DNA sequence: CTAACTTGTAGTCAAAATGACTATAACTTA
DNA sequence: TAAGTTATAGTCATTTTGACTACAAGTTAG
């Protein structure tokens, strides 16, 4: 344990999307404190690794997941957030497509929970989750991070449902598809859904290269929720 | 020193705006390492204080500044970022109006530098600065943080110049004022500039209460840079 | 095998926002 | 009094939006 930093820890918010629901991956804690309780996957940092490396290692060890979108949220450092001793935690958040990264047997202690039905979480994990949700809601509008939560190939309806689940409001289907397709960031594939009980929808792929190129020209990704009519009572 | 966390530090990016330029406050380091070099104001965290409290204390002690907009950027934790020993730093960024918070004699070792003319910075402070600039550029478009950099009462031209300085591109004056005033977040004051060598402009104040109310209704603050024409060569 | 149902996808249309300008007002200084 | 600055109101064509309609393409129920 001498090779660990004892004043810092890492906790990961792992968001996934499946069946129209946004989900969070929790693990059942193996050790005290809060042993046996569902909590954010977390761990400590080795002296020999950067914090980003540590976050990837911890995630891999606890859940078997790797090569996923992983970014730092922020540090949480209330004095008494971790009862045993003073530890500041670095919160990371990951976005993954449930199908792209199925849970292996390796992660027997891990389970997906719909974000609307989370169990009580220990320490300040509830606050971390709330902050992560807020950040996700903000980011999905201004950055094309939503695609990380979908399979490589997806339909426009899946994309729309993802936005609806995260933003928590309904979107108009024709308008949503018009907006997204006109952005020229989705590549229509010569493929369609299979085994669906209705007309098969075309599959699309996100064009990351094109996005990067457009960004250099000053392009800004924006998916605004419908602005409700502004009541202009006085003036 | 036993009451300090020795594996963590705090470094602050302090942005200010004056005379059409975005500036960063640096201090000349009193102690080794990098003694005498210009660097981000920083320090260590007491066991008895939260990280947010620590950031405010450090800022006050080093610069005399208080009661300002201060938010966390993120943690920087490369293994060798701080040569003496392994320390992860929490970067914060502050936005202040140069006039609202003049430097007191208290902060003799502090000086404002235009962000375009920064001296070489020690450790990973350069990377922290770059990340902070990117975050500021992103945030000023989606959140009304720009007002933190202006005096309480400001003119529309000052606001526009602030956006131009941060985004690094020119904006059309009539269109900018139309966009901002139609948002209904600026309260026109019955006051005008004084002692200017031309027609005095009206002063405005940011209506934070109204902003908070609109946000609850789903309003989203957006100041998009002009989208250059999309070349649609093929298709 | 036709009808009912589901989802996909193309359009329409009025309203609002945007980008590019023009024009004029209000001051100061030469 | 004229020239120079900045403020501020408006115009206008174009684009984007929000709210819908219509129809296509499959599946399943009767």
- Same domain, residue pair B14 and B83: yes
Nearest residue to A200 (alpha-carbon basis) of A208, A209, A190 = A190
pLDDT of B228 reads 58
Those residues whose C-beta lies under 8 Å from the C-beta of residue A5, and which sit 6 or more positions away, are A44, A45, A46, A47, B7, B86, B88
Please enumerate residues of B whose Cβ is less than 8 A from a Cβ of A: 5-8, 45, 47-52, 54, 72, 74-79, 86, 88, 90, 138, 141-142, 169, 184, 217-220, 222, 224-225, 227-228, 230, 232
Residue A73, min C-alpha distance to chain B (Å) = 7
Q: Do B230 and A141 touch (CB under 8 A)?
A: no
Dihedral sign, CA of B96, B102, B105, B109? Answer: positive
pLDDT of A40 reads 97
- Same domain, residue pair A78 and A115: yes
Residue B17's region, left for phi above 0, alpha for psi from -120 to 50, else beta, is beta
Q: Is the pLDDT of residue A16 over 80?
A: yes
Quick one: DSSP state of residue A37? S
- Same domain, residue pair A82 and A29: yes
- Total of domains in chain A: 2
As a whole number, mean pLDDT of residues A187-197 equals: 90
Alpha carbons B66 and B44: distance in angstroms, whole number: 18
- For a pLDDT cut of 70, what percent of chain A falls above it? 92
pLDDT of B98 reads 74
**Residue B232: inside a domain:** no
**pLDDT tens by residue, chain B, 235 residues:** 669 999 999 999 999 998 888 999 999 998 889 999 999 999 999 999 999 999 999 999 998 888 999 999 999 999 999 999 999 999 999 999 877 776 766 667 889 999 999 999 999 999 999 999 999 999 999 999 999 999 999 999 999 999 999 999 999 999 999 999 999 999 999 999 987 888 899 999 999 999 999 988 888 999 977 765 544 333 2
Tokens 């699309």 belong to: A204
pLDDT of B195 reads 79
Contacts of A54 in chain B (CB under 8 A): 77
Q: Do A230 and B184 touch (CB under 8 A)?
A: yes
pLDDT of B233 reads 35
Please report how the helices B173-182 and B156-167 are oriented relative to each other, as an axis angle in degrees rounded to 10: 110
- How big is chain A, counted in residues? 235
Nearest residue to A10 (alpha-carbon basis) of A84, A79, A70 = A70
pLDDT of A91 reads 98
Q: At A20, is the pLDDT very low, low, confident or very high (cuts 50, 70, 90)?
A: confident
- Same domain, residue pair A16 and A126: yes
Nucleotide with smallest C1' distance to residue A199 CA: D26
**Euclidean distance between the first and the last CA atom of chain B, given in angstroms as a whole number:** 66
CATH number of the domain that residue B111 is part of: 3.90.79.10
Q: Do B5 and A6 touch (CB under 8 A)?
A: no
- Same domain, residue pair A115 and A39: yes
Gyration radius from chain B CA atoms: 20
**Residue A147: inside a domain:** no
CATH number of the domain that residue A189 is part of: 1.10.10.10
Alpha carbons B209 and B200: distance in angstroms, whole number: 27
Q: Do B48 and A79 touch (CB under 8 A)?
A: yes
Tokens 């392009």 belong to: A219
Angle at A204 between CA A199 and CA A208, to 5 degrees: 170
Q: At A18, is the pLDDT very low, low, confident or very high (cuts 50, 70, 90)?
A: confident
- Same domain, residue pair A210 and A115: no
Contacts of A224 in chain B (CB under 8 A): 220, 222
Question: How large is the ipTM?
Answer: 0.91
Distance A174 CA to C13 C1' (A): 15
Distance B146 CA to D19 C1' (A): 35
Dump pLDDT digits (tens) for A138-190. 999 999 999 999 999 999 999 999 999 999 999 999 999 999 999 999 999 99
CA atoms within 13 A on the CB side of B169: 13
- Same domain, residue pair A31 and A131: yes
Dump pLDDT digits (tens) for A40-96. 999 999 999 999 999 999 999 998 888 999 999 999 999 999 999 999 999 999 999
**Residue A232: inside a domain:** no
Burial class (CB within 10 angstroms; exposed 0-12, middle 13-18, buried 19+) of A228: exposed
Q: Which domain range does residue A167 map to?
A: 153-216
Closest chain B CA to residue A184: B232
- Same domain, residue pair B118 and B199: no
Residue B96, min C-alpha distance to chain A (Å) = 22
**Residue A172: inside a domain:** yes
What mean pLDDT is reported for chain A?
Answer: 91
- Say which of A8, A49, A77 has its CB closest to residue B7: A8
Structure tokens at B18: 């004056």
- Say which of A51, A78, A220 has its CB closest to residue B88: A51
Q: Do B74 and A79 touch (CB under 8 A)?
A: no
């Amino acid at each position: 344990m001498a090779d660990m930093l004892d004043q810092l820890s890492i906790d990961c918010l792992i968001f996934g999307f499946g069946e129209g629901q946004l989900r969070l991956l929790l693990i059942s804690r193996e050790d005290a404190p809060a042993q046996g309780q569902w909590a954010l996957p977390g761990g400590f940092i080795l002296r020999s690794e950067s914090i980003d490396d540590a976050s990837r290692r911890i995630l891999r060890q606890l859940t078997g997941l790797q090569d996923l979108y992983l970014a730092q949220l922020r540090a949480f450092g209330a004095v008494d957030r971790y009862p045993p001793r003073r530890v500041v935690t670095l919160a990371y958040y990951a976005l993954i497509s449930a199908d792209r990264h199925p849970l292996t047997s390796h992660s027997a202690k891990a389970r997906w929970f719909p974000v609307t039905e989370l169990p009580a979480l220990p320490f300040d994990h509830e606050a971390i989750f709330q902050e992560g949700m807020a950040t996700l809601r903000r980011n999905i509008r201004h950055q094309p991070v939503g695609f990380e939560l979908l399979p490589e190939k997806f339909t426009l309806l899946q994309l729309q449902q993802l936005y609806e689940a995260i933003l928590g409001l309904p979107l108009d289907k024709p308008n949503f598809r018009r907006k997204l397709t006109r952005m020229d960031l989705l590549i229509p594939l010569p493929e369609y859904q299979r085994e669906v009980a209705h007309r098969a929808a075309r599959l699309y792929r996100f064009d990351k290269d094109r996005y990067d190129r457009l960004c250099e020209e000053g392009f800004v990704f924006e998916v605004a929720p419908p602005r409700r009519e502004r009541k202009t009572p006085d003036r």
